[in-house]
Amino acid sequence: MCSNNQNTLIMEYVRYCLRLLCSIVFTVSLTQDLQAQNSSENDYGSWILLYGNTKIHEEWSVPVVGIVRHHHMLDKYGFFFFRTGATYKLSKASTITGGFALLNSNSYLGPDDVKNTNQLWLYAEYNLNTLYHTQKISHRFRVENRRLINVDDPKVNNRVRYRLQYLKPIYKDIYFKAFNELFLNIKGETFNQNRVFIGFGQQLTPKIKVDIGYFNRKFKKSNEDMIRLSLSFNIDLTKNDLALKTY
């Protein structure tokens, strides 16, 4: 049987989770109401993200990212995105990564007019993590070369991205997470888009964590509100025979 102290801790944890859930629902509802005052067509979309890192050497790892975007909550397909590459560990706090990505997307030109396109991306990025007590601040700089494929006119776009991310534990394995990411075109009109995320997450196991929150993409002439749900994982192959080894 559980002791009184254990029961008290369990009740505190349940109450905390309920307050956390209510806060998320309230924030999303408030934002949606405010946005609806300016647009009668406003509707929350969904951004489902699965990403992870597989360590194959003391300095080398393989990142994998998969994203499914819907214009409405889990409805009206927007795009599917897959990215991978190779990451090299420069220090305990910094890494560089290079690789490619594939994107399949739908453009809705009319009620019965849907255009499907595919893109190939090449990218390089630098990550820097800084710890202040339990708070983690991350910087990510990325350069991307994007082009349409399987078309007669393969348009090319080059852009740079900078993301500033903040993460702070708030209760045991529960954490607060927020980031802002600015996209700039190298050629043509400078501003491409800006992304903002505010939410909460939980470290489910030492290797797996999940977070959920409000996600916004701001373009010059449009604005997208979404609920972003992500699951991340880490795999370490350096402890078995599949890992690359230095002799």
Asked if residues 158 and 186 have their Cβ atoms less than 8 Å apart, the reply is yes
User: To the nearest 10°, the Cα dihedral for 33, 167, 123, 230?
Assistant: -60
Give the containing element (helix H, strand E) for 30.
helix 4-36
Q: What is the pLDDT of residues 21-56, one digit of tens each?
A: 555 555 554 554 554 444 444 579 999 999 999 999
User: And the tokens for 84?
Assistant: 């991978």
Rama region for 133: left / alpha / beta (φ>0; ψ in -120 to 50; rest): left
58 Rama class: left (phi>0) / alpha (psi -120 to 50) / beta: alpha
Alpha-carbon distances, residue 193 vs 85, 200, 201, 221 (angstroms):
24, 24, 25, 10
Which of 126, 137, 129, 136 shows the shortest CA–CA distance to 160? 126
| Per-residue model confidence as pLDDT tens digits over 126-151 | 999 999 888 999 999 999 999 999 88
At 39 the pLDDT is 45
- Token readout for 192 is 């491409």
- Say what the pLDDT of residue 36 is: 45
Tell me the C-alpha to C-alpha distance, in Å, between residue 159 and each of 20, 34, 162, 220.
37, 32, 10, 16
Structure tokens at 110: 């009319």
Spatial distance between the Cα atoms of 43 and 32, rounded to a whole number of angstroms: 8
Which residues sit opposite 228 in a β-bridge?
47, 213
Are the C-beta atoms of residues 231 and 210 closer than 8 Å to each other?
yes
175: left (phi over 0), alpha (psi -120 to 50) or beta: beta
pLDDT in 10s for each residue of the chain, 247 residues: 555 665 555 555 545 555 555 555 555 545 545 544 444 445 799 999 999 999 999 999 999 999 999 999 999 999 999 999 999 999 999 999 999 999 999 998 877 789 999 999 999 999 999 998 889 999 999 999 999 998 877 789 999 999 999 999 999 899 999 999 999 999 999 999 999 999 999 999 999 999 999 999 999 999 999 999 999 999 999 986 555 555 4
